[in-house]
């Protein structure tokens, strides 16, 4: 999608909302700095990253979307994927 296809002001609204998301990511990072194995924080990081991947591309920020997607794939195959495996229920 080209940014020119969006209604006026929508991209700016998205960027303003991203400030809140970045604040949430900073809080998650602080939790992980204290306890790198904080499963809830790792899951929140994955969730927020996935949302950014989808929404950034929708608002014309394709480079950001690709970078987040690359990081998600890297984490899945080489990084923290073992922390993010679904919990067994029972």
Domains held by the chain: number: 1
Containing structural domain, residue 29: 7-83
pTM of the model: 0.66
In angstroms and rounded to an integer, the radius of gyration of the C-alpha atoms of the chain is: 15
Answer whether residue 19 is part of any domain.
yes
Q: Summarize pLDDT for 51-85 with one digit per residue, the tens.
A: 888 888 888 888 888 888 787 776 666 655 444 44
The mean pLDDT of the chain is 79
Cα separation, 58 vs 17, in Å, equals 14
Cα separation, 82 vs 20, in Å, equals 28
Answer whether residue 1 is part of any domain.
no
Cα distances (Å, whole numbers) of residue 17 to 13, 38, 56, 60, 75? 6, 26, 12, 15, 25
At 2 the pLDDT is 56
Answer whether residue 2 is part of any domain.
no
- Asked if 1 contacts 46 with a C-beta cutoff of 8 angstroms, the reply is no
Answer whether residue 90 is part of any domain.
no
């Amino acid at each position: 999608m080209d940014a020119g296809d969006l209604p006026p002001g929508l991209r700016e609204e998205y960027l303003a909302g991203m400030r809140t998301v970045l604040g949430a990511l900073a809080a998650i990072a602080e939790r992980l700095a204290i306890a790198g194995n904080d499963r809830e924080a790792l899951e929140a990081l994955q969730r927020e990253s996935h949302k950014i991947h989808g929404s950034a591309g929708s608002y014309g920020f394709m480079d950001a979307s690709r970078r987040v997607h690359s990081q998600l794939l890297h984490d899945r195959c080489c990084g923290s994927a073992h922390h993010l495996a679904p919990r067994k229920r029972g």
